[in-house]
Structures are given as C-alpha cells and as structure tokens.
C-alpha cells in the first residue's frame, strides 16, 4: 500500500443505512456503517470488550451495537452504553473502537492510508466525467492477486490482441507504437497507438507526435482507472485491495449518449457484463503471475511497450520510499 493516499475501497450502494457490513480491505477486517445522518463510518471490525466482530451486530439509535454483550459505540468509536453496567453506569473511555478516516465521493467509499492529519487532501477523481452517468450500475470481480497486478493489467497495452483476441483486442494489432505516456501529479495517461505488424519496427514514444485527442487510459494513483472507449463512453474501475493476495475490481460504464433513464440503465448494465467478460479473460492470465504482488526487482523484464507499467511501478516505489522517509510504513494500522 502507498502511504498517505486515499484508496477507493467500496461502492456506496453496498452500504445501506441501518445495518453494519463487514468487508476486508487493505489487510484488515473492517466494519462499514452509516450514522443517523447517513454519513459513512468505518472501524476495525473488533469490539474492544471481548474482541467479537462488530459487523454481525446492529445499528441502534445511530450507534453500532455489538452482538455479544450489547455494548454500543457511536460514530467516533466512543462507548455509549454498557448494558451490564446500567444506563447510568460507568462507560470507561478505554472501550473505544479504532475508527478509520473515511469519505464518500463519486459513488465510492474511500479510506485514508496514512498518518492522522488536521486536514486531508481532496479525493482524487477524473476531470472529464461531467454530464456522464453510470446509473448506479457497478459490477464486482474478485481476483486472487494483489491489487497491483490488477493495476498492471489495466496499464498493459501489448496484451490486447492475445488475451482479448476475440473481444476488445480484435484486429491483430500486435505492434505497439510508443505508447505515448505521461506521469504528472500522481496521474498516468496513456495514448494507445497499436497497429497490425506490417514489417516496420515499433515507433518509440519520442518518435510519436504529441497526441491531439484525449488519452485512452487515465489512471489516478493509487487505484482508480479509466478507459476511454469513445468521446461519450468510458469504463471506470477501482481496484479495492482486500489484502496482499486478493482484490475486488469495481467497474462502471459511464456514458453520455442515452438520456432516457430506462434505456441508459439497460445500456450500462449490458456494457458492464461485457466488461466483466473481458476481465475474466485477463484473470485467466493474471492469476498465473508470480509473485502475486507486482513490483520492480522481482526478476521481470520490460519491453518499450511496457512503459506505462514501468512508470506505475517506479512511481509507486518512489511514493512508498517517500512515506518511509517520513517514518511511515506501507500499512499504518495495527493488525486485527
């Protein structure tokens, strides 16, 4: 995990009011719930009394109630009621749940992986989705790999005619010119210029003119990705880390073509199904990659067409080292 970053970890629609949800994310078992105002609360899924999970409990009067002895905790994690002590009995401060810094934005739930701060940076998001909708249609795909392998697959432009031979990689465009790739402010942009091999060597990124159209791939660190299909349609995915060997990819189709809600809902959910099929094609290969976590210096080699992946891994390493230079481990919470 990269320190001091917001990670998108779940779909807003997953966490309904009035009920706690246990989700494993970033190596911890967490409980997600909403307070009386509907604001998202995320805590370690462990009761400070006798260590039962909180997620099988209930929401009572805007508090989360542990199912074991009925202790209630508010959105700050402070104990509000210890039934065995009586309503007016003592509520020692030591009974406090560990709360995580969480936000809700763009229909996703985000967790801060880093040091506590007075002020947090804004949630990273795309600047090209105004007027686009996804109609709350989000698909989920579970892969048994570290999330970095899923990010790599999304930045891999030379696998298309092989892994997706009959779907998104049709046309035998095996020659990878460039790709022209930029990294700026924790954003990687990639312009695809693959073509069928007509006998000439692939062009280097420096031989390609600066692109005049928007990027094909738009990746925001640490785990948010967009693939532009047309001016009016794109896929957005987040790779939510479960732990070092599991990731859930949430995918949406954003479109600006159909305005009639019923039709556009049908359209985006059909597109999501197609996208899930393409992801299953990726997974057939990705699940065979070892180690399950991508990194530099693990004996893998790069070709020029792997430039987006190399940039991702290099920048990821740099951000982790910067965090460590400031005394931050990759993962800053106690394990549960």
Residue of the chain from 11, 28, 45, 282 that contacts Fe ion (CB under 5 A): 282
**Residue 237 β-bridge partners:** 225, 251
The entry of Fe ion, ligand FES, none near residue 282 (CB within 5 to 8 angstroms by kind) is Fe ion
The entry of ligand FES, Fe ion, none near residue 146 (CB within 5 to 8 angstroms by kind) is none
Residue 40 host element (H or E): strand 40-44
CB 55 within 8 A of CB 20: yes
How many chain residues bind Fe ion (CB under 5 A)? 1
Q: How far is the CB of 82 from ligand FES (least distance, A)?
A: 8
Q: Which residues bind ligand FES (CB under 6 A)?
A: 47, 49-50, 52, 66, 68-69, 71
DSSP characters for 101-119? -EEEETTEEEEEES---SS
Q: How far is the CB of 32 from ligand FES (least distance, A)?
A: 18
Q: How far is the CB of 147 from Fe ion (least distance, A)?
A: 15
Angle at 267 between CA 266 and CA 271, to 5 degrees: 115
CB 80 within 8 A of CB 91: yes
Residue labelled with tokens 């995990």: 1
Closer residue to ligand FES, CB minimum distance, 78 or 300: 78
The entry of Fe ion, ligand FES, none near residue 120 (CB within 5 to 8 angstroms by kind) is none
Distance of CA 328 to the CA centre of its chain: 21
Q: Does 306 bind Fe ion (CB under 5 A)?
A: no
Closer residue to ligand FES, CB minimum distance, 52 or 183: 52
**Tokens standing for 230?**
């047309």
Q: How far is the CB of 95 from ligand FES (least distance, A)?
A: 9
Residue labelled with tokens 């197609």: 274
**Tokens standing for 188?**
């990687």
The entry of Fe ion, ligand FES, none near residue 50 (CB within 5 to 8 angstroms by kind) is ligand FES
Residues in the chain: 336
Closer residue to ligand FES, CB minimum distance, 80 or 140: 80
Contacts to Fe ion by CB under 5 A:
282
């Amino acid at each position: 995990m990269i320190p001091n970053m917001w990670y998108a970890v779940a779909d807003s629609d997953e966490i309904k009011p009035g009920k706690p949800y246990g989700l494993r994310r970033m190596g911890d078992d967490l409980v997600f719930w909403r307070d009386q105002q509907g604001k998202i609360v995320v805590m370690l899924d462990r009761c400070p009394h006798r260590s039962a999970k909180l997620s099988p409990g209930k929401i009572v009067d805007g508090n989360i109630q542990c199912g074991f002895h009925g202790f209630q905790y508010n959105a700050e994690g402070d104990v509000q009621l210890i039934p065995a002590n009586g309503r007016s009995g003592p509520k020692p401060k030591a009974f406090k749940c560990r709360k995580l810094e969480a936000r809700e934005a763009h229909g996703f739930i985000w967790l801060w992986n880093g040091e506590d701060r007075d002020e947090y940076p804004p949630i990273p998001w795309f600047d090209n989705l105004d007027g686009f909708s996804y109609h709350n249609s989000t698909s989920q795909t579970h892969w048994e790999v570290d999330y970095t392998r899923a990010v790599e697959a999304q930045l891999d432009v030379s696998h298309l005619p092989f892994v997706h031979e009959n779907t998104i990689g049709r046309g035998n465009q095996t020659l990878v010119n460039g790709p022209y790739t930029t990294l700026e402010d924790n954003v990687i942009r990639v312009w695809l210029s693959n073509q069928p091999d007509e006998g000439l060597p692939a062009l280097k990124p420096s031989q390609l003119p600066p692109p005049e159209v928007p990027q094909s791939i738009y990746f925001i660190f640490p785990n948010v990705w967009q693939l532009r299909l047309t001016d009016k349609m794109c896929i957005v995915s987040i790779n939510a880390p479960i732990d070092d060997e599991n990731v859930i990819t949430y995918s949406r189709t954003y479109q600006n073509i159909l305005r009639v809600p019923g039709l556009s809902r049908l359209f985006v959910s059909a597109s999501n199904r197609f996208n899930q099929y393409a992801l299953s094609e990726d997974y057939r290969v990705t699940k065979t990659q070892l180690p399950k976590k991508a990194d530099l210096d693990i004996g893998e080699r790069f070709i020029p067409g792997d430039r987006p992946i190399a940039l991702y891994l290099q920048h990821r390493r740099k951000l982790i080292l910067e965090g460590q230079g400031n005394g931050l481990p990759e993962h800053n919470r106690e394990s549960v």
